[in-house]
Amino acid sequence: MTDSYIALARKWRPKAFNELVGQDHVSQALVNALRSGRVHHAFLFTGTRGVGKTSIARILAKCLNCEAGVTDTPCGQCASCREIEAGRFVDLLEVDAASRTKVDDTREILDNVQFAPTRGRYKVYLIDEVHMLSAHSFNALLKTLEEPPPHVKFLLATTDPQKLPVTVLSRCLQFNLKRIPTAQIATSLGTVLEREGITFEPAGVALVAQAADGSMRDALSLLDQLIAFGGGSVTEAEARAMLGTVARDHVVQLAGRLAAGEVPELLRFARSLEQWAPDYAQLLDELAALLTRVALKQVVGEAYEGDELYAPELIARLAGELAAEDVQLYYQTAIMGRRDLPLAPDPRTGFEMTLLRMIAFRPSEPRTPLAQPVATSAAASSGRAAARPEAPSARYSTQTESAGHGTVVGSEPAGDGEWSALLGQLDLQGAARQLASHCVLIAREGVRVKLALDPRSGSLRTASLEEKLAQALSRHFGEPVRLEFLAASEPGETPDQARQRAARERSDAARRAFESDPGVQSFRERFGAEVISETVRPVK
CA pair distance 118, 437, nearest whole angstrom: 82
Helix axes of 135-146 and 103-110: crossing angle, nearest 10 degrees: 20
- Lowest-pLDDT range of 191-200, 269-278, 338-347, 446-455: 269-278
First to last CA, the chain: 105
Q: What is the mean pLDDT of residues 10-26?
A: 89
Q: In 3D, which of 103, 90, 102 has the Cα closest to residue 61? A: 90
> What confidence score (pLDDT) does residue 190 get?
92
In the predicted model, is pLDDT for residue 398 greater than 90? Answer: no
- Lowest-pLDDT range of 350-354, 369-373, 421-425, 430-434: 369-373
In the predicted model, is pLDDT for residue 528 greater than 60? Answer: yes
| Half-sphere exposure in the Cβ direction for 415 (13 Å, CA) | 7
- Residue 394 or 238, more confident: 238
Residues 444, 482 contacting (CB under 8 angstroms): no
Buried b / exposed e over 205-232, threshold 16 CB at 10 Å, is bbbbbbbbebbbbbbbbbbbebbeebee
> What confidence score (pLDDT) does residue 467 get?
87
In the predicted model, is pLDDT for residue 392 greater than 60? Answer: no
Q: In 3D, which of 269, 192, 204, 188 has the Cα closest to residue 237? A: 204
Buried b / exposed e over 400-412, threshold 16 CB at 10 Å, is beebeeeeebebe
CA pair distance 283, 287, nearest whole angstrom: 6
> What confidence score (pLDDT) does residue 322 get?
84
Can you tell me whether residue 450 is helix, strand or coil?
strand
pLDDT tens-digit profile of 274-324? 877 778 888 898 899 899 989 888 888 776 665 667 777 888 888 888 888
Task: Find the Cα–Cα–Cα–Cα dihedral 423, 426, 430, 435, rounded to 10°.
Answer: -40
Q: What is the mean pLDDT of residues 410-414?
A: 41
- Residue 105 or 142, more confident: 142
Burial bucket for residue 28 (CB in 10 Å: 0-12, 13-18, 19+): exposed
Residues 290, 310 contacting (CB under 8 angstroms): yes
pLDDT tens-digit profile of 490-521? 667 888 888 888 888 888 888 888 888 888 88
Residues 153, 24 contacting (CB under 8 angstroms): no
CA pair distance 248, 241, nearest whole angstrom: 12
DSSP for residue 371:
S
> What confidence score (pLDDT) does residue 514 get?
84
- Lowest-pLDDT range of 17-21, 124-128, 360-364, 461-465: 360-364
CA pair distance 121, 69, nearest whole angstrom: 9
DSSP string, 240-303: HHHHTPPPHHHHHHHHHHHHHT-HHHHHHHHHHGGGG---HHHHHHHHHHHHHHHHHHHHTS-P
Phi, psi of 352 (to 5 degrees): -65, -40
Q: What is the mean pLDDT of residues 92-119?
A: 80
pLDDT tens-digit profile of 143-169? 888 888 889 999 999 998 888 989 889
10 Å Cβ neighbour count for 291?
Answer: 25
> What confidence score (pLDDT) does residue 385 get?
36
> What confidence score (pLDDT) does residue 307 get?
65
Can you tell me whether residue 203 is helix, strand or coil?
helix
pTM > 0.85: yes or no: no
Instruction: Say if strands 448-453 and 482-486 run parallel, antiparallel, or are unpaired.
Output: parallel
In the predicted model, is pLDDT for residue 390 greater than 70? Answer: no
Q: What is the mean pLDDT of residues 119-125?
A: 89
Show Cβ contacts of residue 297 under 8 Å, excluding neighbours closer than 6 positions: 303, 315, 316, 319
CA pair distance 229, 306, nearest whole angstrom: 26
In the predicted model, is pLDDT for residue 266 greater than 50? Answer: yes
Q: What is the mean pLDDT of residues 194-198?
A: 91
Helix axes of 216-229 and 202-211: crossing angle, nearest 10 degrees: 130
- Residue 415 or 195, more confident: 195
pLDDT tens-digit profile of 329-367? 999 999 999 999 999 999 999 999 999 888 888 765 443
Show Cβ contacts of residue 392 under 8 Å, excluding neighbours closer than 6 positions: 366, 369, 370, 443, 444, 445
In the predicted model, is pLDDT for residue 446 greater than 50? Answer: yes
Residues 443, 392 contacting (CB under 8 angstroms): yes
> What confidence score (pLDDT) does residue 110 get?
78
DSSP string, 421-440: HHHHHS---HHHHHHHHTEE
Average pLDDT, the chain: 81
In the predicted model, is pLDDT for residue 379 greater than 80? Answer: no
> What confidence score (pLDDT) does residue 124 get?
92
CA pair distance 528, 128, nearest whole angstrom: 97
Question: pLDDT > 70: what percent of the chain?
Answer: 85
CA pair distance 444, 440, nearest whole angstrom: 12
CA pair distance 422, 427, nearest whole angstrom: 10
> What are the strands of the beta sheet with 482-486, ordered from one edge?
439-445, 448-453, 482-486
Considering only CA atoms, give the Rg of the chain.
36
pLDDT tens-digit profile of 454-474? 888 787 788 888 888 988 888
> What confidence score (pLDDT) does residue 421 get?
85
DSSP for residue 99:
T
> What confidence score (pLDDT) does residue 489 get?
63
- Residue 412 or 347, more confident: 347
Highest mean pLDDT among 172-176, 455-459, 523-527: 172-176
Extended beta strands in 74-190, E state: 92-96, 123-128, 152-158, 173-176
CA pair distance 20, 33, nearest whole angstrom: 17
In the predicted model, is pLDDT for residue 2 greater than 80? Answer: no
- Residue 278 or 22, more confident: 22
What does the chain come to in residues? 540
> What confidence score (pLDDT) does residue 406 get?
36
Helix axes of 248-260 and 324-340: crossing angle, nearest 10 degrees: 120
CA pair distance 375, 379, nearest whole angstrom: 6
| Half-sphere exposure in the Cβ direction for 138 (13 Å, CA) | 16
> What confidence score (pLDDT) does residue 3 get?
59
CA pair distance 498, 502, nearest whole angstrom: 6
